[in-house]
A = this chain, B = another copy of it.
Amino acid sequence: SLCPAAPPMLYPNLAELENYMGLALSSEEIQKNLFPDSSTALTPAGPLPGQLVAPLSGNNAGLRRAEIKPGVREIHLCKDERGKTGLQLRNIDQGIFVQLVKANSPASLVGLRFGDQILQIDGKNCTGWSSDKAHRALKKASPEKIVMVVRDRPFQRTVTVHKDSTGHVGVVVKKGKIVSLAKDSSAARNGLLTHHYICEVNGQNVIGMKDKQLMEVLAGAGNVVTLTIIPAVIYEHMVKRLSAGLVKSSMDHSIPDL
């Protein structure tokens, strides 16, 4: 199962590999060390203690979510009548991420969200793909069913806060970003941070909303508010070259089903 001739593929390719694994390796040794089984499954061939086996997709039409490991699930996506998924993807750090989910699209229907990482499309691992390659894969995929393996928003996290007696959580938001925290507020007590964008309020996507609308969502949210946040440096990198108009006009802001 070793492939003797081709050099190993790395994402990205490195000009020099002399420090790989701390050893000076000849190209023969590199090939020997870097060519594992060509299985594309999430787990290696053969049983290992505690190994999770990825469930096979079976014959189910429509939507299906199956958790493969914590935070990683398999979903089935269809295309709409125009052959679109409503999904825009971006390469970040050699991974493929959801950059945009259009409202009322197949992607919104299966619960894909900004910041989700796409690990596989139709059985192929996405590591090292360009955004273009990922979109081409979507384009040529079957309109009836595209199988994706997705990791839930690895760059985001949630913080739950409580409104005070005047109904505020204690954040000052500008253009979706937390810029200030009120002393002695629930936001301060719970260690919310500045330089973070609010992605969701109680699971509802607020990216692309005007601040006024975001505040209205906050005001209507009930006493216990779970905010999904992402560091600004990462958010700003993820939305690079995504037209601001597209974000504001197209993004799915529907209230999620429980």
Residues of A in contact with B (beta carbons under 8 Å apart): 1, 8-14, 17, 19-22, 32-44, 48-51, 69, 92-95, 117, 119, 125-128, 151, 154-155, 157, 160, 162-166, 168, 170, 172, 174, 179-186, 188-191, 193-196, 211-212, 215-216, 223-224, 231, 233-234
Chain B residues with Cβ under 8 A from A189's Cβ? 40-42, 119, 125, 127
Chain B residues with Cβ under 8 A from A11's Cβ? 180-183, 188, 194
- Given the complex of chains A and B, what is the CA–CA distance between A193 and B165 in angstroms? 43
Chain B residues with Cβ under 8 A from A51's Cβ? 162
Chain B residues with Cβ under 8 A from A48's Cβ? 162, 223-224
Can you offer 24 A-B residue contacts whose CB atoms are under 8 A? Answer: A8-B182, A10-B182, A11-B182, A11-B183, A11-B188, A11-B194, A14-B179, A14-B180, A19-B211, A34-B168, A36-B164, A36-B165, A36-B186, A38-B184, A39-B184, A44-B186, A48-B224, A49-B224, A93-B195, A93-B196, A94-B193, A94-B194, A119-B190, A233-B233
6 tightest A-B CB contacts, nearest first: A36-B164, A22-B212, A93-B193, A127-B188, A9-B183, A22-B215
- Given the complex of chains A and B, what is the CA–CA distance between A15 and B15 in angstroms? 49
- Shortest distance from the beta carbon of A70 to any chain B beta carbon, whole Å: 9
- Shortest distance from the beta carbon of A65 to any chain B beta carbon, whole Å: 18
Which residue of B117, B215, B231 contacts A155 across the interface (Cβ within 8 Å)?
B231
Beyond A19-B211, A189-B42, A196-B93, whether A10 also contacts B183 by CB under 8 A is yes
CB-based contact B95/A10 at 8 Å: no
Closest to A193 in B: B93
CB-based contact B233/A94 at 8 Å: no
Chain B residues with Cβ under 8 A from A183's Cβ? 8-11, 127-128
Q: How many copies does the complex hold?
A: 2
CB-based contact B157/A17 at 8 Å: no
Extra inter-chain contacts (13) besides given A36-B182, A44-B165, A49-B223, CB under 8 Å: A10-B183, A11-B181, A12-B179, A21-B172, A33-B166, A34-B185, A36-B170, A36-B184, A48-B223, A51-B162, A93-B196, A154-B157, A231-B233
Chain B residues with Cβ under 8 A from A180's Cβ? 10-14, 94
- Shortest distance from the beta carbon of A206 to any chain B beta carbon, whole Å: 13
